[in-house]
Amino acid sequence: MEDKELNLTDHLEELRRRLIVTALAFIAFFTVGFIYVEDIYHWFVKDLDVKLIALGPSDIIWVYFMLASVIAIAATIPIIALQIWLFVRPALRSNERKVTLSYIPALFILFVLGLSFGYFVIFPTVMNFLMGLSGEMMVANFTAEKYFRFILNMTLPFAILFELPVVVMFLTSIGIINPYFLQQIRKYAYFLLVVISVIITPPDFVSDFLVTIPLLLLYEISITLSKFVYRRRLKKLAENPEEYDLEEYQ
């Protein structure tokens, strides 16, 4: 009993260290983002025909914190992934350690690709459509807080959802899921992705369609990648059966 309690204490202490490292990394990247927030701000508004409005001091500080936070989140993702890997490493087999470690760079790359897709494809499309609805009826004036919140809503969900293929590959590589399971739940996954796309986009069919199609494609790509990883795992199982638990495949 004492050994179990000691083991639990060791795990909690290890988890605390990993969380502290992650928090320190986030704070460091947040500080860097905060220092360069003015340059980031000018890059985001360089194509705007109007000057953004701040309704109060809180709007200004909110923009600073939002921009710095996005930079910090993106930069901290590899650190988070590495700390998770270091925490679970003792429970992984030697082959699983190598495979899972290779996914860490992909997490960061896909997060940035998701942000880029949301900003360069979805955001201008939805923005132009909504602006076109106003026509001659209204004069468009944007507050800085609402403008950047809109950008955040159009980009951050994609950055998170673009991680799906890597997460699926990781779970397949350690035997938690397989492509056949993903195929079985396809209709439920499709329904969930459609609901997500409707929630994160303005209430119009065009925006919903533009967001839904990429999400469904991401799911199909995830299935394809899962098949590749699953077949490779079966091949390694046949070559080195002692490294795997045979009960997983019975």
Count of all residues that appear for the chain in the document:
250
Q: What is the pLDDT along the chain (250 residues), one digit of tens a residue?
A: 444 444 778 778 888 999 999 999 999 999 999 999 999 999 988 888 778 888 888 888 999 999 999 999 999 999 998 998 888 888 777 777 777 788 888 888 999 999 998 899 888 887 887 777 776 777 778 889 889 988 888 888 888 889 999 989 888 887 788 899 999 999 999 999 888 888 876 666 766 777 788 889 999 999 999 999 898 888 877 776 655 554 444 4
Q: Which amino acid is at 88?
A: V
As a whole number of angstroms, the distance between CA 77 and CA 82 comes to: 9
Identify the pLDDT of residue 184. Answer: 94
Identify the pLDDT of residue 32. Answer: 95
Q: Which amino acid is at 164?
A: L
Burial class for 250, CB neighbours closer than 10 Å (0-12, 13-18, 19+):
exposed
Identify the pLDDT of residue 167. Answer: 87
Contact status, residue 214 vs residue 233, Cβ threshold 8 Å: no
Q: Which two tokens stand for residue 188?
A: 């439920």
Of 130, 147, 151, 154, give the one whose Cα is nearest residue 50: 147
pTM, 2 dp: 0.79
Q: Which two tokens stand for residue 127?
A: 């923005």
Mutual angle of helices 57-88 and 144-161, in 10-degree steps: 20
3-state helix, strand, coil in the chain (%, to 5): 85, 0, 15
